[in-house]
Amino acid sequence: MTKKIVIVLAVLACLTGAGRAAAQTPITDADLKAAVKPTDRTNGDPDGSLTGTANDIAIADAKAGLTVADVLNQIGANRIGVNFAWTLLCGFLIMFMQAGFAVVEAGLCRAKNANHTMMMNFMVYGVGMLAYFLIGFPLQMGGAGAVANLGGSPVLNSEFTFHLFGKDIGLFGNTGYLLMHHGTYDVAVMVIFLFQMVFMDTTTTIVTGTCCERWKYAAFMVSTMFLGAFTYPIFANWAWGGGWLAMLGSNFGLGHGYADFAGSGVVHSVGGITALACALILGPRIGKYTRDGKPNAIPGHDIMWVLCGCFILAFGWFGFNPGSTLAMSGNGGLRAASVAVNTMLAGMTGSFGGILYMWIRYGKPDASMSGNAFLAGLVAITAPSGFVNPIASAIIGLIAGVLVCVSCEFIERVLKIDDPVGAISVHGTNGLWGVIAVGLFADGKSNYGGSWNGVNGNVTGLFYGDAGQLVAQLMGVATLLGFVFVLSFAFNLFVDWFVGQRVSAKSELAGLDIPEMGALAYPDFVLKTESEMVA
Amino acid sequence: MTLVGLVVTFLGFVIAFVSLGVSGSTGVRMAMVLAGIVVSLIGIMGVMTPAYQKTWIFKR
């Protein structure tokens, strides 16, 4: 009863706009008369009905007792607390994806390179995070503005822009250095940093898969540092940090601007396209192609870890996509349920698409491609997950499952680029497909506070009447291919000149565990020679 | 050829970006952005990849 009175008082205060005077109105003893008292719990509270009452509302002034202001503050704190908890927990889930990537990539490489591949995946977390902490985060989020779902902290407010075509074009953020700069020692900023950091680390770990079995460890560290400090944060700023891609809607009338709910483009395409740039520079592994360019299959050493890793990744994806609401309370937070189901469905149809394609084409349901198709469905739904309905999700995933198989064949046989884990196809190709899918399938039913990227209304794709949204998405694709690729390639070319990207042929033939890491992953195993592997 | 490929790839991005200032028409912008994507793909797959293939180990 008391709780009802308190709530009624709070609502009345809000509706009448009574302001400070009403907000300070003390709640009387009569209001609290029916409240549960601490003594009522002397016999415990087995059904939970005595726990969580008016007694638990934080009081600002003990002398004044419980006031309407206290109740209103508690309501606000509860909402933001729920959103903090949700976003942090989802961030922790995403962090665990590092383990999934590690075992998928290590399982798909040969046993003689397992320690090296695992160590790349292990240190990508630390190297990437260091770069992001020092440089990347301010560049990405320094001008992002207040995130209402996380308390609306206004301190991330400095975006470097230049004036072109009559508009301000946002290029990068410029505050938040070391999480101390200009008031960014702030709880909301910490949540944003943690959540964005694990996204960035996902990008960096994509590259290690494509480059495994021939990448010099020192070159990997320098390359990862650049990706975490510059390449990823710059594109992420343009898409999520208030940069020019996000503003395509408000500045140029293209739908709601570039919309990438959880990062098919920002996370996966940036990783996949950087992997493509590095793979070009590195070249294929010894024995991958014959002298006339025919590809040889080089099987991974542990398919069980590969498929187990896919499940770990799929589990982490429930942090990736639903967590990108940044809320469970208010501004469309409950839409997280729809996002989670869309994610499940696309993963399911992706695996079906891949397994059926391989079965029909080669007569067997290939295990590693089934895993890749599962991941491809998840990658493709990452951008649209917040904007599409379940049927569209299933279609997007199914197309992704087939597309990843076709892309792997094209990259291996036509481009003759060696990608041991298929990361370019899984993350690059299907990341781009996911970005385009938003512009096609977004149904206009999502509602994240009435607007997206500063444009009123909901994101709507071509099939639901907004061709401008598709143009905004294609602009993102053009930027990924024409800018991100060039930036990644140019930097990695410098690394190749000054550090050298590729290990020696002798080290590669021996396996990188001893030459690069000094220890075998499996010291008790008898490893096959190179000629036995190729035969 | 690597440098040429990089320039062509970047040119694709420039074509797409310039569409923002050239026209307010969604159709024109879409055509230019698609053209930019094609140019970038030609730069990556048609120029840079063949140039790099010549240096790869199975070609030596």
Residue in A286, A481, A490 nearest the CB of B57 = A286
pLDDT at A16: 45
Tokens of A512: 């990188």
Q: Which residue of chain B has the CA closest to A245?
A: B17
DSSP-derived 3-state class of residue A363: coil
Query: Using H for helix, E for strand and C for coil, what is the string for A291-322?
Result: CCCCECCCCCCCHHHHHHHHHHHHHHHHHHCH
Measured in angstroms, the CA of A377 and the nearest CA of chain B are apart by 23
d(CA A188, CA A150): 6
pLDDT at A20: 45
d(CA A334, CA A320): 16
The answer to whether the CB atoms of A478 and B33 lie below 8 A apart is yes
pLDDT in tens, A430-440: 999 999 999 99
Give the angle A535-A121-A350 at the CA atoms, nearest 5°. 75
A443, β-bridge pairs: A460
Are the C-beta atoms of A372 and A395 separated by less than 8 Å? no
pLDDT at A268: 98
Other beta carbons less than 10 A from residue A214's beta carbon? 24
DSSP-derived 3-state class of residue A170: strand
The answer to whether the CB atoms of B30 and A470 lie below 8 A apart is yes
The DSSP letter of residue A412 is I
pLDDT in tens, A144-176: 988 888 988 789 999 999 999 999 999 999 999
pLDDT in tens, A75-121: 999 999 999 999 999 999 999 999 999 999 999 999 999 999 999 99
Q: For testing the chain B interface, which of A424, A485, A502 should be mutated: the one with the most B CBs within 10 Å?
A: A485
Cα–Cα distance list, A33 to A16, A50, A55, A420 (Å): 26, 15, 11, 70
Q: For testing the chain B interface, which of A258, A411, A479, A509 should be mutated: the one with the most B CBs within 10 Å?
A: A479
Region of residue B17 (left: phi > 0; alpha: psi -120 to 50; beta: else): alpha
pLDDT at A48: 86
pLDDT at A40: 76
pLDDT at B58: 63
pLDDT at A19: 43
Strand stretches in A336-488, DSSP E: 451-452, 455-456
Residue in B40, B43, B49 nearest the CB of A415 = B49
The answer to whether the CB atoms of A467 and B58 lie below 8 A apart is no
Mean pLDDT per 10-residue interval, chain A, length 535 residues: 50 45 63 72 84 87 88 94 97 97 96 96 96 97 89 88 93 94 91 97 96 96 97 97 96 96 97 97 94 90 95 97 94 94 98 96 93 98 97 98 97 95 97 98 92 94 97 98 98 94 94 93 77 58
Tokens of A388: 């599409």
- Residue by residue, DSSP assigns A74-131 as HHHHHHHHHHHHHHHHHHHHHHHHHHHHHHHHHHHS-GGGHHHHHHHHHHHHHHHHHH
Non-local CB neighbours of A54 within 8 Å, separated by 6+ positions = A2, A3, A6, A32, A35, A36, A66
Are the C-beta atoms of A257 and A245 separated by less than 8 Å? yes
Non-local CB neighbours of A182 within 8 Å, separated by 6+ positions = A155, A158, A175, A176
pLDDT at A17: 45
Tokens of A129: 């995070």
Q: Which residues of B touch A468 (CB under 8 A)?
A: 26
The answer to whether the CB atoms of A471 and B33 lie below 8 A apart is yes
Q: Which residue of chain A has the CA closest to B11?
A: A482
For residue A13, count CB atoms less than 10 angstroms from its CB and return exposed for 0-12, middle for 13-18, buried for 19 or more: buried
The answer to whether the CB atoms of B16 and A479 lie below 8 A apart is yes
pTM of the complete model beyond 0.80 = yes
pLDDT in tens, A300-332: 999 999 999 999 999 999 999 999 999 999 888
Are the C-beta atoms of A121 and A154 separated by less than 8 Å? no
Q: Which residues of A177-193 are buried (b: 16+ CB within 10 A; e: fewer)?
A: beeeeeebebebbbbbb
Measured in angstroms, the CA of A509 and the nearest CA of chain B are apart by 13
Measured in angstroms, the CA of A58 and the nearest CA of chain B are apart by 53
HSE-CB at A207 with a 13 A cutoff on CA atoms is 40
